[in-house]
Amino acid sequence: MLTEAGLPAEYPRLKRPSDAARPSTAIVHLGLGAFYRAHGAVYIAEAMTKSGGDWGIAGVSLVRPDQRDALAPQDFAYTAVELGPEGETPRVISVITDVLVAREDPAAVLGVMSAPETKIVSLTVTEKGYCHEPSTGKLNRDHPDIAHDLEHPDAPRSAVGFLVRALDRRRKAGTRPFTVLCCDNLPENGKLLRGLVLELSGLIDNELKSWIGTHATFPSTMVDRIVPATKPEDIDRLAEKTGVMDLSPVMHEPFSQWVIEDDFVDGERPDFAAVGVELVEDVTPFEHMKLRCLNGTHSSLAYLGYLSGHETISETVADPVLAAFCKSLWAKEILPILKAPPGVDLQAYTGELFERYANPAIRHRTWQIAMDGSQKLPQRILGTIAENLDAGRTPKGLCLAVAAWMRYVGGTDEKGNAIDVRDPLSADLKALSDGASSAEGKVDAILAVRKIFPETLASNPIFRDALVQSYKGLVEKGARVMAKERTDD
C-alpha cells in the first residue's frame, strides 16, 4: 500500500477526529512503544471519556524518532486494534498530545517533565531501560548512560537520569514532584525504580535525594495485555478495512489488566477506578502471579518453542507437547509456591492464560519474547526456581527453560542456523558459551554471570546439575523431546 517513498498511495492519512477534544498535557510517558499505546493510553482515554479530567499524554521516545515521525502527521492519533476470536475491532485513540525524541532534544523533555501541569511521569522503557543489575536491583554505575548522566545535568540519556534531573528542577523551582508510575514487568517495579532514582540522586546531591525520598511517590503496578509488534501486513489490512492509512497502529488481545497502588502525589490521577483499573494497597501478590504465571511461561515457551521451530506463541501451544509442558509448569512448579491475590482463583487464571496464548489472531513471535532474556529471567523464572529449591523440590521444567535460554544465547539453533540474539549481554554470553566445549563448561560459564544469577542460586549443586542434564538433553535430543520428558517426570 505504500509508495516507494513510504507514503500512502491509495488512502488518506489518519487524522485526529475533528470532534475529539484536545486535552492538555498532564502525563509524560517515557518509552512510547506499542505496549503503552495499547494499554495505559487506552485506559486513560477511557477514563477521560467516562469521568472527564484533562490527562493528555506527552510521549517520549528515548532514542529513536520513528514513533514521532509516524504519529506527528496524524496529529498523534492512532488506531488500537483488538484482535478477538471473532475478528478485528479498530478504535482511534487521541489522547497523545505530542511526541518528543529525547536523544534529539533532551531540553524539551526536561521542560515538559518540569512543568507544574505535569502530574505523572509513567514509564515503559523495558527491563534493560532501567540501567540496573537484574540480580540485585541496584543501579549499574558502570552503565555508559549513567556515567554520561552524571556529567551532563542538562542532557540526560537514561530514563532514571531524566527523572532525577527533572525532579531536581522541580525542587529548585518550588514545584511539587510528579508521581513516578513504572509500568514495566519488573518485580515491585515502583519500589525498584524508587531505589534507582534515590541511588542516582544521592550521587548528585544528598538534599535532592532526601527531597525525592520524602515528597515523590512511586506506586508499583502490574500491567498485562499481549501486544505483538505491528507488522507491515497489519498496516495494509487495517487501511483496507477502514479506508484510512495509519502508519502506526497497535494490535492487541481483548484481555487487559492494570493493578496500581493508590499512592499518587496529592492524589492527582485520572479516574482509574471508573475504567476497571484495580487500585490496591499492595501490588506484590498480583505482580508475582503475573510475572511468574504469564511472563515465566511466556519466556519458557519462547526459548523451547523457538528451538522447536515454532514462530509464534499460538503455534507453540498448538503443539500438544509444548502445551502439556506449559500446563505442567503451572501445575507442578509455579502454582505450588504462589500466594493467590485476594479474590483470585489461580486455576481459573492460568486456564484463561492458556486461552490467551492459543488465540490464533495474535501472532506474537517467539523471537520477540526471547529478546533480553538476561534482563527477564531473574524475575520471571529464577525466583520461582529458588523458592522451589528452598522447599526441597527440583523444578526441572523451569531448569529446562533456563538451559534452553543458555542454548539460545549460544547463537545456533537445532538445525545449525544462526540465531539473531538480541540482548544487552549477547556478546558476553556468546563468548562465554563459545569459550567452553562441554555442557558442564557452558553452564558453569554462564552461571557465573552475577548480573543474572545470584550467588546463592548459582552455587546450588542441585540447580547446576539440573541445568547440565537439560543442556545435554537439548543438544542430544532436542527441545521437543526434552519438554516431553520433563512433563512426564
Q: Which of 116, 189, 117, 115 is nearest to 159 (CA)?
A: 189
Locate 216 and state its grid cell.
Answer: 515523590
Q: How far is the CB of 221 from ligand CS2 (least distance, A)?
A: 12
Q: How far is the CB of 41 from ligand CS2 (least distance, A)?
A: 15
Q: How far apart are the first and last CA of the chain?
A: 51
Q: How far is the CB of 294 from ligand CS2 (least distance, A)?
A: 6
Per-residue x/- marks for ligand CS2, 137-176, CB under 6 A? ----------------------------------------
Contact window for ligand CS2 (CB under 6 A) among 17-25, 218-226, 258-266, 460-468: 218-226
DSSP 106: H
DSSP 292: I
C-beta of 60 vs 226, nearer to ligand CS2: 226
What does the buried/exposed string (b/e) look like for 372-411 if buried means 16 or more CB atoms within 10 Å of the residue's CB?
bbbbbbbbbbbbbbbbbbeeeebbbbbbbbbbbbbbbbbb
Contact window for ligand CS2 (CB under 6 A) among 212-220, 240-248, 291-299, 441-449: 291-299
Q: Return the ∠ at Cα 146 (arms to 227 and 71), rounded to 5°.
A: 35
**Cα–Cα distance for residue pair 248/232, rounded to 1 Å:** 10
Number of residues that bind ligand CS2 (CB under 6 A): 10
DSSP 418: B
**Cα–Cα distance for residue pair 452/458, rounded to 1 Å:** 10
Residue 234 CB-density burial (10 A; 0-12 exposed, 13-18 middle, 19+ buried): buried
Does 37 engage in binding with ligand CS2 (CB under 6 A)? Answer: no
Does 252 engage in binding with ligand CS2 (CB under 6 A)? Answer: no
C-beta of 38 vs 432, nearer to ligand CS2: 38
Scan residues 364-383 and list those touching ligand CS2 (CB under 6 A): 368-369, 376
C-beta of 23 vs 296, nearer to ligand CS2: 296
Please spell the DSSP secondary structure of 305-323, one letter per residue.
HHHTT--BHHHHHHSHHHH
Q: Which residue from 29, 165, 194, 225 is in contact with ligand CS2, where contact means CB under 6 A?
A: 225
Q: How far is the CB of 478 from ligand CS2 (least distance, A)?
A: 24
Q: How far is the CB of 172 from ligand CS2 (least distance, A)?
A: 37
Question: What are the two backbone dihedrals, phi and then psi, of residue 233, each rounded to the nearest 5 degrees?
Answer: -70, -25
Scan residues 97-136 and list those touching ligand CS2 (CB under 6 A): none
Q: Which residue from 128, 269, 298, 480 is in contact with ligand CS2, where contact means CB under 6 A?
A: 298
Instruction: Answer for the pair 217, 167: CB distance below 8 angstroms, yes or no.
Output: no
C-beta of 298 vs 407, nearer to ligand CS2: 298
Q: Which residue from 226, 238, 421, 439 is in contact with ligand CS2, where contact means CB under 6 A?
A: 226
Q: Which is it for strands 56-61 and 96-101: parallel, antiparallel or unpaired?
A: parallel
Does 185 engage in binding with ligand CS2 (CB under 6 A)? Answer: yes
Contact window for ligand CS2 (CB under 6 A) among 100-108, 213-221, 294-302, 434-442: 294-302
Does 287 engage in binding with ligand CS2 (CB under 6 A)? Answer: no
C-beta of 119 vs 128, nearer to ligand CS2: 128
Instruction: Answer for the pair 304, 401: CB distance below 8 angstroms, yes or no.
Output: yes
Q: Which residue from 295, 374, 375, 379 is in contact with ligand CS2, where contact means CB under 6 A?
A: 295
Q: How far is the CB of 94 from ligand CS2 (least distance, A)?
A: 24
Does 82 engage in binding with ligand CS2 (CB under 6 A)? Answer: no
Q: Which is it for strands 87-93 and 78-84: parallel, antiparallel or unpaired?
A: antiparallel
Does 224 engage in binding with ligand CS2 (CB under 6 A)? Answer: yes
Q: Bridge partners of 278?
A: 259
> To the nearest 10°, the Cα dihedral for 311, 294, 262, 124?
-30
Q: List interacting residues with ligand CS2 (CB under 6 A).
A: 185, 224-226, 294-295, 298, 368-369, 376
